[in-house]
């Protein structure tokens, strides 16, 4: 089944992306890379950062919106149907100021999920919000993040970041076609087993 993981950062060569992944360095839509077309529908300018090359590529950088701005990231899907979506909303900066996971995930214009989580503060293990709305420490996100499944009636996935009095950022977005809800459960079990070096 088709799938892609997109790691948001400032420099394309900052880290090496994993298998089935590519990067977004503030690219405008339509950008085609890794066989998928995606990008910001309006320019985010220089609002992108490299954070750490010592962590997993999914959390190594961010694209973000500033207070008072709203920007939408668009990903074109190959077909309608069932997809598992993963997210990492947050910033691998130990003391972010006014940092939020303030975002809306959409099937074209229809809302799938809404996220409004204050991530500001000081932490040696910064928090990230996953697609299911759970908040994980950076060290736990990779093995623990939970995807959500949605049956897309369009071929457009939109992720809107809202800087409503704060900064809002995204580190990672991934989608994968799944046959059914049971297929998503199996893939989650495989994901967890692989991250822990085990098997089902």
At 57-74, the pLDDT tens digits run 999 999 999 999 999 999
At 77-116, the pLDDT tens digits run 999 999 999 999 999 986 667 789 999 999 999 999 999 9
DSSP string, 80-98: SEEEEEEEEEE---SS-SS
Q: What's this model's pTM, rounded to 2 decimal places?
A: 0.90
The total number of residues written for the chain in this structure: 200
> Which pairs count as long-range contacts for 111-120, CB under 8 Å and 24+ apart, including other chains?
112/85, 112/148, 112/150, 113/148, 115/87, 115/89, 117/89, 118/166, 119/89, 119/90, 119/91, 120/96, 120/166
Burial track 93-107 (b if 16+ CB lie within 10 A, e otherwise): beebeebbbbbbbbb
For residue 138, which of 192, 65, 89, 197 has the smallest C-alpha distance? Answer: 89
Q: What is the pLDDT of residue 190?
A: 47
Q: Domain locations in the chain?
A: 3-195
Domain range 3-195, CATH class = mainly beta
């Amino acid at each position: 089944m088709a799938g892609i993981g997109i790691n948001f950062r400032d420099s394309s060569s900052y880290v090496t992306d994993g298998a089935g992944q590519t990067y977004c360095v503030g690219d405008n839509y339509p950008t085609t890379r890794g066989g998928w077309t995606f990008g910001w529908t309006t320019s985010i300018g220089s609002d992108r950062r490299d954070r750490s090359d010592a962590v997993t590529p999914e959390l190594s950088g961010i694209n973000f919106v500033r207070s008072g701005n709203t920007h939408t990231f668009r990903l074109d899907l190959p077909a309608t149907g069932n997809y598992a979506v993963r997210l990492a909303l947050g910033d691998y900066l130990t003391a972010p100021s006014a940092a939020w996971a303030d975002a809306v995930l959409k099937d074209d214009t229809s809302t799938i999920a809404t996220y409004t989580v204050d991530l500001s503060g000081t932490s040696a293990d910064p928090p990230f919000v996953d697609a299911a709305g759970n908040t994980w420490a950076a060290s736990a996100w990779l093995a623990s993040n939970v995807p959500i499944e949605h049956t897309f009636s369009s071929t457009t996935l939109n992720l809107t970041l809202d800087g409503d009095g704060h900064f809002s950022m995204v580190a990672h977005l991934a989608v994968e076609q799944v046959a059914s809800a049971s297929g998503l459960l199996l893939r989650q079990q495989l994901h967890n087993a692989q991250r822990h070096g085990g098997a089902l």
